[in-house]
Structure 1
Amino acid sequence: MTDGEQPADVDPFDLPEWLGGPDVVWESDEGLRTGHLVSGQLRTSGVDRLRCALLAVDEAYPVPVVSDDVRTRAHQAWRHGQVLLVSREGALTLAVPGRRFDADLVLEAIARLAMAVGASSDDWSVLLRIGTARRQ
């Protein structure tokens, strides 16, 4: 996104229907300590999978990770109890205020995604990695 690429907005109603059901898991592909972008995937106990990353929109060194417009809209959505959904490199991406992720921020972002697709966050789970290494 730093080379002029702007993420496209994603309408939660355009996401797969299975996200509205029970037993959805978001699993990180890498540790939270990797920085402002944490890739992962949403999945069910079946074969359903969807790439889903978390992006901390306030990271600005050495260059901003998103445009001012995207950052502003991410903050507005968050302030209203929502999360901005965008598509980045073909993956659903949750644009979240902040520079880094911790467990509480991840849980809140995923809960807001569940709400956006009409699911109960009580039926969703999160599986985190905490280091800096990428999963092989």
Structure 2
Amino acid sequence: MNASDTPPLIGIHHVALICADYARSRDFYTRVLGLQVIAENYRQARDSWKLDLALPDGSQLELFSFPGAPARPSRPEAQGLRHLAFRVHLLEPMIERLTAAGVACEPIRVDEYTGRRFTFFADPDDLPLELYEIPADAG
């Protein structure tokens, strides 16, 4: 196999998020969403935390805190990241988990092109997050 036969991209390694309140966001992503901590480091020179979180498929989230970081300009139609979507096998158990933690979820919708069900909710910084249902038995 030569270089031209190799796909240039093979997946997403991580998504990096900057939060306003590190402790609140750390709790949300670990306790509420159930992501596992890979590493957590305080970078004194930047007065910044960096938290690496694992998802079951091997992808990761990096959670950063930076003093004085500006707020997101608008939701969700600003240029840049529109939302972050997580795959789930069933929506209802995760919606129940979020609701029990005081996180509001939008009503379940159906993707008009794929027929898959999904819903939106927000993290502590109002970043739009999506749950996208792909049943375990789906190819």
Question: What is the TM-score of this pair, normalised by structure 2?
Answer: 0.26
For CA contacts below 8 A with separation 6 or more, give which structure has more relative contact order: 1
User: Which has the larger Rg?
Assistant: 2
More helix by share: 1
TM-score by length of 1: 0.26
